[in-house]
Amino acid sequence: MPRTGWPRAHALARHLRWALAAGLAVAGLAAAAAEAPQNAPLSAPPLDARFFGIHLHRADTTTPWPFVKFGSWRLWDAGVDWAKLEPMRGRWRFDKLDRLMALAQVHEVEPMLTLAVTPTWAAARPSEPFVYGAGGASEPRDLADWEAYVRQVATRYKGRLRHLEIWNEPKYGDIEPTKGAFFSGTVKNLVDLACAARRTARAVDQDLRIVGPGFTGAGDRLERFLAAGGKHCIDVVAFHFYSATPEKMQQRIADVRQIMRAQGVAHLPLWNTEQGYEVLGPDARLPGPQGIGVADEATEAAYIVRSFALAADAGLSRFHFYSWERMLDKSLKPRRGALAVATAVRWLRGARLPGCRALDTLRVCPLERGGRKAWLVWTTGPAFEWRAPPAWQIKAIEPMEGPGRVHHNTPLQIDQAPLLLKQDVPAWLP
* Under 8 Å between Cβ of 411 and 25: no
User: If we measure between CA atoms, which residue out of 148, 124, 152, 153 comes closest to residue 136?
Assistant: 124
| CA proximity to 186, closest of 229, 139, 153, 222 | 139
DSSP 208: -
Q: How far apart are CA 154 and CA 148, in angstroms?
A: 10
- Going by C-alpha positions, the residue among 375, 376, 382 that lies closest to residue 415 is 382
In DSSP terms, 164 is beta-bridged to 113, 210
Distance CA 413, CA 386 (A): 6
* Cis before 45? omega within 30: no
* Phi, psi angle pair for 257, to nearest 5°: -60, -40
Q: Would you mind telling me the total number of residues written for the chain in this entry?
A: 430
Integer Cα distance of 347 and 374 in angstroms: 10
Question: CA-CA distance, 90 to 68, in Å (whole number)?
Answer: 38
Encode the chain (430 residues) as per-residue pLDDT tens digits: 333 333 333 333 444 344 444 444 455 554 444 333 333 334 678 999 999 999 999 999 999 999 999 999 999 999 999 999 999 999 999 999 999 999 999 999 999 999 999 999 999 999 999 999 999 999 999 999 999 999 999 999 999 999 999 999 999 999 999 988 999 999 999 999 999 999 999 999 999 999 999 999 988 999 999 999 999 999 999 999 999 999 999 999 999 999 999 999 999 999 999 999 999 999 999 998 888 999 999 999 999 999 999 999 999 999 999 999 999 999 999 999 999 999 999 999 999 999 999 999 999 999 999 999 999 999 999 999 999 999 999 999 999 998 899 998 899 999 999 999 999 999 999 9
Peptide bond into 323 cis (omega under 30): yes
pTM, to two decimals = 0.91
Give the CATH superfamily of 49-348.
Answer: Glycosidases (3.20.20.80)
